[in-house]
Amino acid sequence: MSADKNTALIILAAGRGTRMNSELPKVLHPLGGTPLVVHAMDSAALAEPTRTIIVAGHGADAVTKAVQEYDETTEVVLQEEQLGTGHAVMQAREALAGFDGNVLVLFGDTPFISKTTIEALLEARTHNDVVLLGMDCVDPKRYGRLITDGDSLERVVEYKDAAPFERRITLCNGGIVAADAKLLFELLDAVSNDNASGEYYLPDVVQLARQRGLNAGFVTCEESETQGINTRADLAIAEKLFQDMKRAEVMDNGVTLTAPETVFFCYDTYIGGDTLIEPNVIFGPGVTVENDAHIRAFSHLEGCHVSRGAQVGPYARLRPGAELAEFTRIGNFVEVKNAQILEGAKVNHLSYIGDAEIGKGTNIGAGTITCNYDGVMKHKTTIGEGAFIGSNTMLVAPVTIGDEAMTASGSVITSDVEAGALAVARARQDVKPGLARRLMDKLKATKAKLDGKV
């Protein structure tokens, strides 16, 4: 009964999720910007599974794509008919033929199982043939009830099949099962659908194991860990819970949130210590922020890397591929996409920097745009170290600006500028004395005539 062997993970993810009122498979709805099923896969990472089997049904192709993006070795099997959790696990039997090790069964719509709970389940497997996760509920609702004898689990009774005295039990079924692979499938062979729902229940393996004289045990967790997602309302509650946990985590790690309830994180957001995050900041997938950074209010970051001491915002947008080196400054209403901003460079106002490399110590003036797209292809702008780009410069890529070069404000730069040079690319100003008054008088006269006043 040792858990010191290979572990296969089976995640049940075949449900349509009818109450979500969505064509998207339930397990692909995002929580913290990441599909629910990926949360379940990550929960089991502590078990170091050597095999991961996803039991899919509705939207199986989309589910396959999502889980293999997370782990390309993940295998997917189909459950054509929804005949209960026991039937779902049986769909993994062929894939695990000949597998010698433990099986851990999780649910793709239950994202909050902690690594501590997984560790407890594996520990309990060292001295039990079958282990089930339980939870003490203040309001047991319609959960299945665990029938125990001391530390031994005797059976699980579904609410529909429970006697009145059994329904008063508050120790409820959390659903997750750990067992030896060969034993689990042998027990499932004997599971019957002779119950109020006509389904094959996975927890029935507990009673079958006890009838064979085997040991069955249980571990408990907080009820919040087992929260499943069945409706949009459930998803909203889960998102709030996720965000609260993530906010607490980053603050515990030394990050200052001046208005925590207004900051929204993604599942994989990493924030280094002594970073300050102001109100109303949103982190999309793939963001890393190093120590001592400052993310100012109303900024949106996604797929980017912010180095130590950098400052972003307010009202800045960092898109995928944005790489900010140490002590850079990205200011208000600046958008950066697929660009490297090197150490000490500044893009402080109202600019778009896309498909570019900005050298150390360079200053980008307000209203600068890297014109990177010709309607078909993207092109790169390269700016050297210590350059000064005048306000309202249009940099028509591909173009290179040399070290310590300058562009005059209002220029449209279409050719490379050598190091140390000043580029002026605008029409010469021509002043026409008195023309403004004459033009305005003419316009007013035309309008008066149209309005019938003359």
Structure tokens belonging to residue 203: 């927890």
pLDDT recorded at residue 141: 85
pLDDT of residue 3: 46
Q: What is the Cα–Cα distance from 206 to 203, expressed in whole angstroms? A: 6
Q: Nearest to residue 388, comparing CAs of 407, 413, 360?
A: 407
pLDDT of res. 286 = 96
Q: Where are the alpha helices (DSSP H) in 200-341?
A: 204-211, 232-252
Residue-wise pLDDT for 237-252, tens only, equals 999 999 999 999 999 9
Contact 393, 368 (CB under 8 A): yes
Helix, strand and coil in the chain, % to nearest 5: 25, 30, 45
Domain extents for the chain?
7-226, 247-423
Q: CATH second-level architecture of 247-423?
A: 3 Solenoid (2.160)
pLDDT digits (tens, 9 = 90+) for 259-294: 999 999 999 999 999 999 999 999 999 999 999 999
Tell me the C-alpha to C-alpha distance, in Å, between residue 154 and each of 130, 212, 387: 11, 12, 75
* Percent of the chain predicted with pLDDT > 90: 87
Catalytic residue annotation:
349
Of 267, 265, 324, give the one whose Cα is nearest residue 294.
Answer: 324
Euclidean distance between the first and final Cα of the chain, in Å?
103
Q: What is the pLDDT of residue 62?
A: 96
Of the CATH numbers 3.90.550.10, 3.40.50.2300, 3.40.50.300, 3.30.110.70, which one belongs to the domain with range 7-226? 3.90.550.10
Question: Which residue is associated with the tokens 């282990």?
Answer: 131
| Res 390: pLDDT | 97
- Long-range pairs of 191-200 with CB within 8 A, sequence gap ≥ 24: 191/86, 193/83, 193/84, 195/158, 195/160, 195/161, 196/158, 196/160, 196/161, 197/84, 197/158, 197/160, 199/83, 199/84, 199/85, 199/86, 199/87, 200/83, 200/84, 200/85, 200/86, 200/87, 200/90
> 282-283 and 352-358 as β-strands: parallel, antiparallel, unpaired?
unpaired
- In the predicted model, residues of the chain with pLDDT beneath 70 are 1-5, 453-454
Tell me the backbone φ, ψ of residue 374, rounded to 5 degrees. Answer: -100, 10
